[in-house]
Structure 1
Amino acid sequence: MLDLWKMRQKTHQKQMFKYLRYVLNDHFILALLFILGGLALSYSNYLKALSPQAEIWYAKPLVLLILVISLQVGRLATLLKPADIVFISPRQAEMGQYLQKALQSSLIFAWVFDTLVMLALTPFLLVAAKLTVVQLIFLWLLLLVLKYLQLERKLLGLYQAQFASGRWKWFLDIGFCGLLLGTSLYLDPLYLLLVAALLTGYIDKSKKALTTQAVFNWEVAIETENERMLQLYRFFALFTDVPNLQVAAKRRRYLDRLLPQAKPGGSFTYLYWRALVRNGETSGLVLRLTVLGAVILYFITEPWLALALAVLFVYLLGFQLFSLYHHYDEVVFMHIYPLDPGNKQKAFQKMLGQLLFVIAVIFTLVSWIQLQNILFSLEFLGVLVLEIVLLTRPYLKGRLAKRA
């Protein structure tokens, strides 16, 4: 089983690196640098504005909320496949070794993420919460132990359904972890770390008994792993085509009145708007990037940085939606019906321009709320409109010509 895990892990890593090549492209790296730079600048300005003498009352509750949320990131990656229920189930007694390797591998990612979150919160905790360096170290260790307990709970849930229930998730992952973290922020974290360590020893003992005596729930384990992989594929689908991801169209009847209706000469306009709305991945991409851009702009106080980020988000949205132009190319009826091919590009340009203009207006309003400068807001909107015209006219035509 250890050899099987090594083979599965190697195949999985190879697949992830393949998709990461598309994720970590020049556009995404540039966007990430702008976003992180803007957030770091705002964070630094916020810390400088805090009083070095007074303790901020909301500092510890805010940190508690962030830490509890960060603990929910990172799932148990078993790398099990549907066929395993037939071919590997006879070796169920050896699943304990396999799952232990899966737990160790999952912990690496989870601990790295939690450590980065803790490093980001360290300046805020030192300035606003007045914690000492020693207290921060114990708090960080407590965070790592609690993440280990969460993954252990998920592993036990593959043997006994009660550990996988929502009640246990709320009790251990949120309630118990929140109680220990919250108490450690106000008291000495060392004592809470000892409590978490003792509970870890008890759960480890229970795990050994379960993995040797209880029956492994193959259906739950495979379904859980499929859900985890589906989330990864949805993320990768933002950057490239993912063959493993099956996207189902959703009707969304409540949006019909807002969309263009069928009329002579407007077939492509009718089709493109419905492809945008009914495709869960595409509409989800637009919604997520718009909300993310608006939230980031709300916290940016530098006008030039806010404008640069807005330009970047509009470009990313437009660039990601270019693939929608070929959405109906493989539909045979598009080549049978008497549709004018010249209307296709015009309809797509119009749809994309209208959508990006609405997003530009949203970004402008958010920027105006933060900066309170009406003249700059008009210039802000003017720059975004100019970008939209360039994106939907010469740039889009050039992209389509290269692909033709």
Structure 2
Amino acid sequence: MNNLREIWGSRFVHYITELQKYLKYVFTGHLAIVLVFTIGAGGYAYSEWLKEVPAEFPAALLAAIVLGAALVFSAPVTLLKPADTVYFLPLENKLGMYIKQSLRWTFFSQLPLPFLLYIIALPLLAATGTGTRTEIVSIAILMVLVKRVFVVTEYNFRHACEGRNVWTDRAIRFVLAGLLIFNGLVGNMLLLPVIAVLLGLYSFHWAKQRKEKPFPYDHFIELEQNRMMRFYRFANYFTDVPHLKGSVSRRGWIGLVFDAPKFGQTVPQSYLVRRTFIRTDDIFWLWIRLTALSALGALFIPFPIVIFVFSGALAFASAVQLIHALRAGDEFRMDMLFPEQEDTRPAAIKKMVRTVQWIQAAVVTVTALFLYGMAATPLLIGAVIIIISEATIHLTGEKEEFE
């Protein structure tokens, strides 16, 4: 296919098909229940807080920071592949058509997030009397224009600098976007043209710099691979993803937390499973994220029954995914070379999962004390996490033995 528009079209269809294949396992009934409870509780808490928010609350500043940050992240979705470094070379003079389609999709796919945050911020702006109706509508229109400019600017910057110092570019655009939104909300309309001109000059500068550099295939291919890998890691929380490539980190602080192994005194499988959990990025950060999410729920959800369901669902997700992740792996492991009983690994996995789930229960219980105080509710939340985790460990173990 010599027509780059057709190449983009075929890749885009494959990309959407790939997303649908995994998203159907992500957005299930269980997640819908969790989202309904979370959004409902969060919306109620937000509405109750708005009734007491003081008129002098810096709503314009907060909205400018949040919306500016949402607009700044505009990494281009190119759908490039490693083979393109060879096969696209004869078509490089026509690559602009492919990039045009890429930036168009990037713009439309990334625009909903800042608008969703803007809609959430509107009740706060109304409660504090920030911005007139005309100014609110004007900011919405400006956000569309700014997002379009930012998508093109980030592409030009990455092209010209081959991805180096991208955070410097984002910091500059964040300041400009924040100033634009803040001055628009507080009514300083005279400054808006000045800031808009600065944005235009900054974008024009990198458009000019881009024309002097060859297309950095390696950078945009790596950027695309990292983007898809983040999606696969997210989808892997809900189903097995064969495309996922795990990563391992050293975690130098392990030596400060755990004693060094001693010959004849250390249980090999417990030692290996413990370090597998801590050093494997996907497993370790999965547990960290779910624990943090459960703690945030305990901090902001004021309804005991809701937080019981919420923390219980996350405890189940943590336990079952840790068990499956620690049991998965290559058919051959180095511990198979040692004269250790084969049945000791499942017990070591259960012990490890039980330990980290007790830690999760303790973290969430302590966090819940800030909202509920010295009452029975925080202790019941911890008890729910422990009970759900123990039941998950027990039932998952029985299922594996039956199979």
> Corresponding residue for 1:365?
366
CA distance in 2, matches of 1:256, 1:88: 49
Contact 2:302 2:371 in 1 (8 A): yes
The alpha-carbon deviation at position 358 of structure 1 amounts to 0.6
Contact 2:299 2:371 in 1 (8 A): yes
Contact 1:78 1:225 in 2 (8 A): yes
The alpha-carbon deviation at position 299 of structure 1 amounts to 1.5
Alignment of 1:131-280 (within 5 A): 131-161=131-161, 165-166=165-166, 169-170=169-170, 172-188=172-188, 192=192, 196=196, 203=203, 207=207, 215-259=214-258, 261=261, 266-280=267-281
Over residues 140-187 of structure 1, what are the superposed CA-to-partner deviations in whole Å (9 max), with x where a residue is unaligned?
A: 121222211211112213542289644751454212112212221212
> Corresponding residue for 1:12?
15
> Corresponding residue for 1:66?
66
The alpha-carbon deviation at position 104 of structure 1 amounts to 0.8
Please say which of residues 152-161 and 105-114 is displaced more in the overlay: 152-161
Over residues 9-29 of structure 1, what are the superposed CA-to-partner deviations in whole Å (9 max), with x where a residue is unaligned?
A: 111111111121222233333
> Corresponding residue for 2:128?
128
Contact 2:354 2:390 in 1 (8 A): yes
Amino acid at match of 2:373: Q
Please say which of residues 269-278 and 62-71 is displaced more in the overlay: 62-71
> Corresponding residue for 1:397?
397
> Corresponding residue for 2:39?
36
CA distance in 2, matches of 1:265, 1:329: 24
Judging changes above 3 Å, is the alpha-carbon distance between structure 1 residues 318 and 193 closer, same or farther for their aligned structure 2 residues? farther
Contact 1:272 1:348 in 2 (8 A): yes
CA distance in 1, matches of 2:202, 2:345: 65
Secondary structure of 1:160's match?
helix
CA distance in 1, matches of 2:142, 2:189: 8
Amino acid at match of 1:233: Y
> Corresponding residue for 2:56?
56
The alpha-carbon deviation at position 336 of structure 1 amounts to 4.7
The alpha-carbon deviation at position 204 of structure 1 amounts to 7.3
Judging changes above 3 Å, is the alpha-carbon distance between structure 1 residues 324 and 264 closer, same or farther for their aligned structure 2 residues? farther
> What value does the CA root-mean-square deviation take over the aligned residues?
2.9
Judging changes above 3 Å, is the alpha-carbon distance between structure 1 residues 202 and 173 closer, same or farther for their aligned structure 2 residues? closer
The alpha-carbon deviation at position 86 of structure 1 amounts to 0.8
The alpha-carbon deviation at position 103 of structure 1 amounts to 0.8
Matched residues, number: 398
CA distance in 1, matches of 2:169, 2:201: 19
CA distance in 1, matches of 2:205, 2:284: 47
Please say which of residues 263-272 and 139-148 is displaced more in the overlay: 263-272
**Is 1:353 aligned to 2:384, yes or no?**
no
CA distance in 2, matches of 1:91, 1:276: 47
Judging changes above 3 Å, is the alpha-carbon distance between structure 1 residues 324 and 233 closer, same or farther for their aligned structure 2 residues? closer
CA distance in 2, matches of 1:277, 1:163: 31
> Corresponding residue for 2:85?
85
The alpha-carbon deviation at position 352 of structure 1 amounts to 0.9
Contact 2:73 2:170 in 1 (8 A): no
CA distance in 1, matches of 2:57, 2:215: 48
The alpha-carbon deviation at position 344 of structure 1 amounts to 2.6
Aligned-residue sequence identity (percent) comes to 22
The alpha-carbon deviation at position 197 of structure 1 amounts to 8.2
Over residues 328-379 of structure 1, what are the superposed CA-to-partner deviations in whole Å (9 max), with x where a residue is unaligned?
A: 5612545453332332322222111111011001101111111113332233
Amino acid at match of 1:287: I
Alignment of 1:73-112 (within 5 A): 73-112=73-112
Contact 1:353 1:389 in 2 (8 A): yes
CA distance in 2, matches of 1:300, 1:264: 46
Judging changes above 3 Å, is the alpha-carbon distance between structure 1 residues 33 and 399 closer, same or farther for their aligned structure 2 residues? farther
Contact 2:158 2:166 in 1 (8 A): no
Judging changes above 3 Å, is the alpha-carbon distance between structure 1 residues 59 and 338 closer, same or farther for their aligned structure 2 residues? same
Amino acid at match of 2:220: A
Judging changes above 3 Å, is the alpha-carbon distance between structure 1 residues 234 and 167 closer, same or farther for their aligned structure 2 residues? closer
**Is 1:375 aligned to 2:371, yes or no?**
no
Judging changes above 3 Å, is the alpha-carbon distance between structure 1 residues 144 and 241 closer, same or farther for their aligned structure 2 residues? same
Contact 2:64 2:181 in 1 (8 A): yes
Over residues 23-67 of structure 1, what are the superposed CA-to-partner deviations in whole Å (9 max), with x where a residue is unaligned?
A: 2233333322222222112112212333xxx62332222212211
Judging changes above 3 Å, is the alpha-carbon distance between structure 1 residues 211 and 8 closer, same or farther for their aligned structure 2 residues? farther
> Corresponding residue for 2:284?
283
Judging changes above 3 Å, is the alpha-carbon distance between structure 1 residues 379 and 89 closer, same or farther for their aligned structure 2 residues? same
CA distance in 1, matches of 2:167, 2:35: 37
> Corresponding residue for 1:46?
49
Secondary structure of 1:35's match?
helix
Runs of 4+ residues deviating >4 angstroms: 188-191, 197-207, 209-214, 260-265, 332-336
CA distance in 1, matches of 2:169, 2:233: 24
Please say which of residues 63-72 and 336-345 is displaced more in the overlay: 336-345
CA distance in 1, matches of 2:107, 2:72: 13
CA distance in 2, matches of 1:22, 1:74: 27
The runs of 5 or more residues in structure 2 that have no matched partner are: none
Q: TM-score, normalised by structure 1?
A: 0.88
Judging changes above 3 Å, is the alpha-carbon distance between structure 1 residues 189 and 107 closer, same or farther for their aligned structure 2 residues? farther
Secondary structure of 2:399's match?
helix
The runs of 5 or more residues in structure 1 that have no matched partner are: none
Q: TM-score, normalised by structure 2?
A: 0.88
Judging changes above 3 Å, is the alpha-carbon distance between structure 1 residues 320 and 162 closer, same or farther for their aligned structure 2 residues? closer
